[in-house]
Amino acid sequence: MTNVYNISMNLESIKIIKEKYYFLIDSLYINALKDGLSSIQKDNLIDTMLKCFPYTDRPFSYFKATGNFFLVKEFRGIPEDNQIDLNHLASDTGLLLIVEESIILNVIDRFDYDTLLDSEIDTFNLGYWQGLLESFKHGQLGLMSPVGPDPEYGGGGIFKVTLEVMVDEI
């Protein structure tokens, strides 16, 4: 069954576009990027985005899609003194955005964390999320909680992320 809203709250697969590059970032961190948007250089995107986060070495993960769908197989906290790379990311909320590289500046400009969470009925504002999705191709933007219904997730930290990229949805 196709996930038309590209949302995973219980470890469902997320649609991505094969051969494209993606950022996996805590949705709250988009606000920090918005504050530094004028200094983000498109030709040096990763390095200039990192400068918006002086207090963490890995505010986002970055990967190339080798298939059309992915699942998070592991989202495990690690001590901050461990060596970290692009397979690690910091998270405060556990609510992550999956953003295809070519639209990241547009998403930074348009996304609002508080509006996303402004809902009295659901976990988040589905109408707001639908409005964002309409501006992009299916598979360019997704929303997920990689911890699913995990009561062990205690909030912020640095996490090792292991993705399983698949050709077909499961």
* Residue 114: its H or E element: helix 113-117
Residues of the chain scoring pLDDT < 70: 1-2, 74, 76, 79-86, 147-155, 168-170
pLDDT at 1: 47
A 10 A CB-CB count for 141 gives: 25
pLDDT score, position 155: 62
- The pLDDT value given to residue 69: 86
In this predicted model, what pLDDT tens digit does every residue of 60-81 receive, in sequence order? 988 889 888 877 776 767 766 6
DSSP string over 13-61:
-EE--TT-EEEEEEGGGHHHHHHTGGG--GGGHHHHHHTT-TT-S-SEE
Domain boundaries, the chain: 7-166
Question: Rounded to two decimals, what is the model's pTM?
Answer: 0.86
Pairing of β 96-100 and β 88-91: unpaired
Q: How far apart are CA 69 and CA 14, in angstroms?
A: 5
Q: Across-strand partners of 61? A: 24
Closest CA to 126 of 118, 137, 136: 118
Phi, psi of 166 (to 5 degrees): -125, 155
Instruction: Report pLDDT for 5.
Output: 87
pLDDT at 169: 63
> What is the pLDDT, as a whole number, of residue 20?
95
Cα(64)–Cα(168) distance, rounded to whole angstroms? Answer: 16
Give pLDDT, residue 151: 44
Token pair for residue 115? Answer: 């509006």
- Output the pLDDT for position 135: 93
